[in-house]
Chains A and B, each alone.
Chain A
Amino acid sequence: MSPPSKPSFDTAYNFAYLDEQTKRMIRRAILKAVATPGYQVPFASREMPMPYGWGTGGIQVTASVIGPDDVLKVIDQGSDDTTNAVSIRKFFVRTTGVETTEQTETATLIQTRHRIPETPLREGQILIYQVPIPEPLRFLEPRELETRRMHALEDYGLMHVKLYEDISRFGHIATTYAYPVRVDGRYVTDPSPTPKFDNPKMDNMPALQLFGAGREKRIYAIPPYTEVKSLDFDDHPFELPEWDTTCALCGADDTFLDEVILDDAGERMFVCSDTDYCARRRAPEAAE
């Protein structure tokens, strides 16, 4: 292996910021997570040069799996150009020199905060989620020791207590994000604060899905083509949210829409949350 004559990244840091031993440690946790779909693997999360809550878990996972040939896409709530996405993309450009893209199908690694791209993912891609609270049972059972035991014993009746409460208060399951799923018929898992609109996309996805929670020090995974089932009741089945309007920019009627407030008079519009998808629907040629 001949060293490149002039590295394309800031050599003051190791490739992808983390040192090689740390990356190995995280990769071992990832392997274990892939082998036990949906199970939260503890790992020795590192301090990153940004605060918790900015995606330190996802960044560590990305840093551990990224290689010089990867093409990286970073999104924040579906958007490629918001602060979180821009700063994480710049971080990896500086520490790895990899190529970046906004196109879902071109990317090999996609780090996301909350959304799954509208364009279906394919085999070979890796989707990395930034997770604030990995434990789906946390707000029902605050004791970590007890929740771990509940996972170990598949003791998941409590999860339905939460859904029951939703129906009794609101008449329907009002959980719209972080909607609990059962992975591969075994572990109940929190799909990060992803809107429940995206839950069906997780089911049997050809791409590998990795979840990193930096502050909580947990990694979990959904391997390709794994069954992901949203929990529900027989008489209150899982339902997708619906909008009574279409995207004001591209006219799509099958995407997740963001509400944008336009002025102080209450004017608003609904637009696709996936900016890449929306932009290319409007101008297929101009985008590339």
Chain B
Amino acid sequence: MNMQSKPLLIVRNLSCYYGSTRGCEDISLDLRTGEVLGIVGESGSGKTTLLKAISAQLEPDSGTVHYRDRRNDSIDIYEISEPERRFLMRTDWGFVHQNPRDGLRMSVSAGANVGERLMAVGWRHYGDIRDEAIGWLERVEVDGDRIDNLPRTFSGGMQQRLQIARNLVSRPRLTFMDEPTGGLDVSVQARLLDLIRNLVGDLGLAAIVVTHDLAVARLLAHRLVVMKDGRIVETGLTDQVLDDPQHPYTQLLVSSILQT
């Protein structure tokens, strides 16, 4: 992690409203290469709205999002043209949905799911696409023999891992994850978290992880942002925020976890 370099992502004064309802308000944050930022907060605190606004899926009412691309140019993700934005979203970025069905193409095989990004950027050699897909399936601990199976024949945990492989195949520099372990049982959650943590470390990936589960945040995130009612109430290093919370809401959040 190179802390001297310029941030990969710079968010400034971002606000989103749904009519008169506040989605998120006046959010500013930086993310550096290889850094994992956790966004925590209760349901309805604006976590997902913020993630959508940062990941070019929901145009904010005010504020800017700047991304430093592979040529080291800073680009405003809402100023670039739609083809450029689409290209960015499926090469340099990944998006892992809470429900794998939202992120997968359920009617085509696992191999086609993993290969889609490759074909979208011009891969035209079936054998190469397939080899790459098998490599990625095994990397996320899915048996390569399952490459021709439909995702619906996979278990929930496997679907989630398939979704991760589908995103990482283009070797993104930044991944957005919305509750990546939501809806999985505890043992599967633990394995998935382990996998994500290793992949992020191996690939030098930057990630923004939205979660309401503080245990997930503690395992994955280097830094934490705590949100309440659409605003950031506290930020800091993960251990610092969780072990010595300053804001009353964070204190409430931390104290509400069952202590083992």
Residue positions of A touching B, CB distance < 8 A: 149, 153-155, 157-158, 160-162, 164-165, 167-169, 232-236
Contact = CB atoms under 8 A, between A and B. Distances in A.
B126 A235 contact: yes
A193 B5 CA distance: 56
Contact of B109 (A154, A157, A165, A232): A165
A168 B83 contact: no
* Most chain B beta carbons < 10 A, residue from A154, A157, A162, A236: A157
A155 B86 contact: yes
B124 A160 contact: yes
Interface string B229-249: 000000000000000000000
B62 to A, nearest CB: 26
Contacts of B82: 149, 153
Interface stretch (B42-50, B110-118, B178-186, B196-204): B110-118
Contacts of A169: 109, 148
B120 interface: yes
Nearest to A231: B124
A173 B116 CA distance: 17
A161 B86 contact: no
B119 A160 contact: yes
Interface in B1-54: none
A169 B126 CA distance: 13
Nearest to A234: B125
The number of chain B residues touching the other chain, given as a range, is 20 to 34
Given A164-B115, A164-B119, A168-B148, A153 B125 contact: no
A220 B108 CA distance: 29
Contacts of A155: 83, 86, 120
A240 B78 CA distance: 46
Nearest to B117: A157
Interface in B81-132: 82-83, 86, 105, 108-109, 111-112, 115-117, 119-121, 124-127, 129-130
B147 A157 contact: no
B112 A161 contact: yes
Contacts of B105: 161
24 contacts: A153-B82, A153-B83, A153-B86, A155-B83, A155-B86, A158-B119, A158-B120, A160-B119, A161-B112, A161-B115, A161-B116, A162-B108, A164-B112, A164-B119, A164-B126, A164-B129, A168-B112, A168-B148, A169-B148, A233-B124, A233-B125, A234-B125, A235-B125, A236-B126
The dominant DSSP class at the A interface is helix
A157 B116 contact: yes
A164 B111 contact: yes
B132 to A, nearest CB: 12
Contacts of B109: 165, 168-169
A232 B130 CA distance: 15
Given A153-B83, A155-B86, A161 B108 contact: yes
Nearest to A169: B148
Contacts of B148: 168-169
A180 to B, nearest CB: 13
Given A158-B116, A161-B115, A168-B148, A235 B86 contact: no
Contacts of B83: 153-155
A164 B112 CA distance: 7
Contacts of A165: 108-109, 112
A139 to B, nearest CB: 8
A153 B127 CA distance: 27
Interface string B118-154: 0111001111011000000000000000011000000
Contacts of B124: 160, 232-234
B116 A168 contact: no
A232 B125 CA distance: 9
B126 A233 contact: yes
A107 B116 CA distance: 45
Nearest to A150: B86
Contacts of B119: 157-158, 160-161, 164
